[in-house]
């Protein structure tokens, strides 16, 4: 039982389904305060967050993450109880093992070892932890960042512990994310009897050509860092349930994951042009979940590559694929942001798991990044 595995088990044992933290943060806080971190608890609405910092000068390196997990699904389908962690054949099973309590444990133990070896490290180490990442993400990281920005407290480098790896821990590092722009489109018609279509206006019939054009649009061709922008319709609803009633309206939900080759204003204008050209009567509501961001080669990327190479012996791959993360709230402040965590194959699934060895490897990588960034030029 390594320190990292022991802490991961303790965290997984707490059923912290969004937004309930269930004491996970206090467990981390106790460990961080013991090694000299000053901790500021920040509760917004029903969400627990904390900001911890060791040091008062820059540059500031921040570990960011979340203690909340998604619901377990049917407990009876798990081989072992999702909140009673179990090790089988060198693998730790439990909800949050990979997303992302294993990463949180690795962050804490990496700091414990680093501070013991380098008590007078340069700059500052910080933690930004929330219990609202898997849910609405309204009262979590975004609110902590707003608080820090209001007092001009800046993060220079940020490592988000999201599960980034594919086949082996450390093989993929996320150095950016696509933007996410969601839409609720309500197309208005006139309800009527199917036998008298001339007295009604069928919004489904009217919408189909416009929707077909929307899904066929080539929004951009992407670039060396991002794949092309894509649109996916995720829900269509219309009708009363009766076979002889023409519906009065049609609701369409879709989402675009977009590259830095476009922006949400251009997307909105292009969608409106298509809908207007097809003569639709509609209401539209947009929700911007996050703008795209990219951390190019620089201090943080270089330090991360070096640490992974030292621990694992291979060169990592940089990627911007995947969904959104709380990095979207941190990058706009000017911070360099990367994501490095365990393999992501089992996240949000039944029997979520992480390799026991992965946890110690991840902790060693985190410690290596600290060493690369906060000991250069210092006699420690």
Catalytic residues: 68, 133
In terms of Cα–Cα distance, which of 11, 28, 149, 107 is closest to 39? 28
In terms of Cα–Cα distance, which of 67, 126, 145, 129 is closest to 370? 126
Question: What is the rounded CA–CA span in Å between residue 206 and residue 210?
Answer: 8
- Which class for 21: exposed (0-12), middle (13-18), buried (19 or more C-beta within 10 A)? buried
- Which class for 332: exposed (0-12), middle (13-18), buried (19 or more C-beta within 10 A)? middle
- Under a CB-based contact definition with an 8 Å cutoff, are residues 290 and 324 in contact? yes
Ranges of beta strands (E only) in the chain are: 38-44, 47-54, 60-66, 86-88, 91-93, 124-130, 157-160, 172-174, 176-177, 179-188, 192-193, 230-238, 245-246, 249-258, 282-290, 293-294, 317-319, 336-339, 353-355
DSSP states of 72-89: ---GGGSSS-TTS-EEET
Q: Which residue has the tokens 């360099």?
A: 336
Q: Which residue has the tokens 């929330």?
A: 130
Question: What is the rounded CA–CA span in Å between residue 225 and residue 294?
Answer: 8
Question: What is the rounded CA–CA span in Å between residue 270 and residue 286?
Answer: 13
- Under a CB-based contact definition with an 8 Å cutoff, are residues 64 and 330 in contact? yes
The kind and range of the H/E element at 8 are: helix 3-12
- Under a CB-based contact definition with an 8 Å cutoff, are residues 350 and 70 in contact? no
Residues 6+ apart with CB under 8 A from 313: none
Question: What is the rounded CA–CA span in Å between residue 122 and residue 203?
Answer: 63
**CA angle in degrees (0–180, nearest 5) for 358-338-354:** 20
């Amino acid at each position: 039982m390594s320190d990292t595995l022991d802490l991961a088990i303790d965290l997984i044992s707490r059923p912290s389904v969004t937004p309930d933290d269930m004491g996970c943060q206090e467990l981390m806080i106790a460990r961080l305060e013991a090694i000299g971190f000053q901790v500021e608890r920040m509760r917004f609405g029903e969400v627990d967050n904390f900001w911890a910092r060791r040091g008062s000068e820059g540059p500031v390196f921040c570990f960011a993450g979340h203690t909340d997990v998604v619901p377990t699904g049917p407990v009876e389908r798990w081989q072992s109880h999702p909140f009673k962690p179990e090790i089988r054949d060198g693998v730790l099973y439990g909800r949050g093992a990979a997303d992302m309590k294993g990463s949180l444990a690795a962050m804490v133990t990496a700091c414990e070892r680093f501070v013991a070896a380098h008590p007078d490290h340069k700059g500052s180490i910080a933690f930004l932890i929330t219990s609202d990442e898997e849910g609405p993400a309204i009262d979590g990281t975004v609110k902590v960042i707003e608080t820090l920005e209001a007092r001009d407290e800046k993060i220079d480098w940020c490592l988000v512990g999201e599960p980034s790896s594919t086949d082996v821990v450390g093989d993929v590092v996320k150095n950016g994310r696509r933007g996410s722009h969601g839409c609720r489109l309500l197309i208005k018609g006139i309800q009527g009897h199917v036998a008298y279509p001339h007295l009604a206006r069928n919004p489904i019939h009217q919408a189909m050509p416009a929707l077909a054009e929307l899904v066929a649009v080539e929004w951009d061709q992407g670039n060396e860092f991002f794949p092309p922008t894509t649109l996916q319709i995720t829900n269509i609803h219309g009708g009363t349930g009766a076979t002889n009633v023409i519906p009065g309206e049609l609701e369409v939900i879709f989402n675009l994951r977009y590259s830095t080759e476009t922006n949400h204003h251009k997307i909105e204008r292009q969608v409106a042009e298509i809908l207007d050209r097809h003569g639709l009567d509609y209401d539209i509501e947009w929700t911007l979940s996050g703008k795209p961001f990219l951390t190019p080669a620089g201090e943080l990327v270089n330090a991360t590559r070096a640490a992974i190479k030292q621990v694992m012996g291979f060169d990592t791959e940089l990627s911007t694929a995947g969904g959104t993360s709380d990095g979207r709230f941190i990058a706009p402040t000017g911070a360099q942001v990367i994501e490095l965590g365990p393999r992501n194959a089992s996240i949000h699934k039944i029997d979520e798991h992480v390799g026991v060895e992965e946890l110690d490897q991840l902790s060693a990588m985190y410690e290596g990044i600290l060493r690369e960034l906060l000991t250069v030029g210092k006699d420690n």
